[in-house]
Amino acid sequence: MSDTSNHSITGLTYEDTLPLRWVAATVAPSDAQQVRIQESNAEVLRAVAFLEEHQGEAVLEHDPITQELQRMDFKINLLLDLVGQVLAHHSTLPEPLPVSLSAKAIQWDAQVAPDLGSHLNVEFFLSRKYPRPIMFYGQVQQVNTVPGGFRTTVALEGMSEVVRDWLEKFIFRHHRRSIAHSRRG
């Protein structure tokens, strides 16, 4: 996570190694397809936010009811984690790649790169507990050579305000956690 990445994405970014795949797009998604994709993206981002909501919070209250609810929450999260692992094992997830994501662009390092200026359909998975992809359409803005391959930057197009808001919340939540983690360590 960084405020200004050491490459071309500016602003607040989320950085991780995520399963990602892309395919060249011959045409832009139709309006109807774009609405379905954005609705799906919003569902995924809401689900990921819900799953991450109480992650890592310590038991602060000694109330037996609160402790029991937290035990149940832990068990449900464990079950979701196991189901996510089974789903990931039985589905064909793409190769995990180093990814930087902002609300306006996505960037990844890989051994193969698309052509500069081409349009792509990009699919990536934010959570192993919820292995459902986020899908975006965009145009390749940069392709740079890096050790071991190429760094591709794609400007995201056609994103709804709802998805942009959820994505910004996701990025900010992870940014806040990384700051808290660095202060503890």
Task: List pLDDT tens digits, range 71-115.
Answer: 787 777 777 777 767 776 677 889 999 999 999 999 999 999 999
User: Where do the domains of the chain lie, and which CATH numbers do they carry?
Assistant: 14-53+94-184 (2.40.10.220)
Sign of the Cα pseudo-torsion (81, 21, 176, 5, in order): positive
**How many CB atoms lie under 10 A from the CB of residue 131?**
20
SS3 string, 48-105, reads HHHHHCCCCCCCCCCCHHHHHHHHHHHHHHHHHHHHHHHHHHHCCCCCEEEEEECCCE
Please tell me the distance from the alpha carbon of residue 87 to that of residue 81, in angstroms, as a whole number. 10
User: pLDDT at residue 57 above 60?
Assistant: no
pLDDT tens, residue by residue, 147-164: 999 999 999 999 999 999
CB 87 within 8 A of CB 129: no
Which residue's structure tokens are 């039985």? Answer: 90
The percentage of residues in the chain with a pLDDT greater than 70, rounded to a whole number, is: 88
Q: Give the phi and the psi of residue 13 in degrees, each rounded to 5.
A: -130, 155
Name the strand (E) or helix (H) holding 139. strand 134-146
User: pLDDT at residue 171 above 90?
Assistant: yes
Please tell me the distance from the alpha carbon of residue 102 to that of residue 104, in angstroms, as a whole number. 5
- In terms of DSSP bridges, do strands 119-124 and 105-110 run parallel, antiparallel, or are they unpaired? unpaired
